[in-house]
A and B are shown apart, each in its own frame.
Chain A
Amino acid sequence: GQNIDQPTEMTATEGAIVQINCTYQTSGFNGLFWYQQHAGEAPTFLSYNVLDGLEEKGRFSSFLSRSKGYSYLLLKELQMKDSASYLCAVRDGGQNFVFGPGTRLSVLP
């Protein structure tokens, strides 16, 4: 079967750095995506990794290790508006997107 795992909830302080981990086991692999989702809204795209290594985009970075089935999303200089759910998703061999359970991040002042 297909399985993606993330921590359910995380809490961090404004200005800090937080790392959200994601492990996956899927039938085939065509890339790993991170999305941010605020309550009542559709997800918004944050990052895409298809090769091993780190992708950096402003305050957000994402890392992938295909051999370990592991990724993380790193958020730097946390802001209150970063409080949201963060979804890890893998595009599998059938080109479908398989979503993890999401991590609810709360940023405290």
Chain B
Amino acid sequence: NAGVTQTPKFQVLKTGQSMTLQCAQDMNHEYMSWYRQDPGMGLRLIHYSVGAGITDQGEVPNGYNVSRSTTEDFPLRLLSAAPSQTSVYFCASSYTVSAYSGEQFFGPGTRLTVL
């Protein structure tokens, strides 16, 4: 199993550009999530999904969109990039959040810089 994969690893954008961060998992996990990691702020939940076709907002959803058309993929879209979105983005997946495991498996991250 490849686990959770993210592309690209690095990205530089100009203010106002849009882009999609890709996330895929091959563990047949129902739950997937996106976090951003900023120095001194820890990880903050952007959006999450409890299954295909279902998404919901986390702590810091503004400026980001997600969709979940398949169990495997959970892309994160930046609609109009701003310097405040400079961060490291992590995708994670879990068999389930509310019972049993709850352990999240993290991808390697995407380092995004917005100029």
Partners in one complex: no
Question: B residues near A, CB below 8 A?
Answer: none
Question: A residues near B, CB below 8 A?
Answer: none
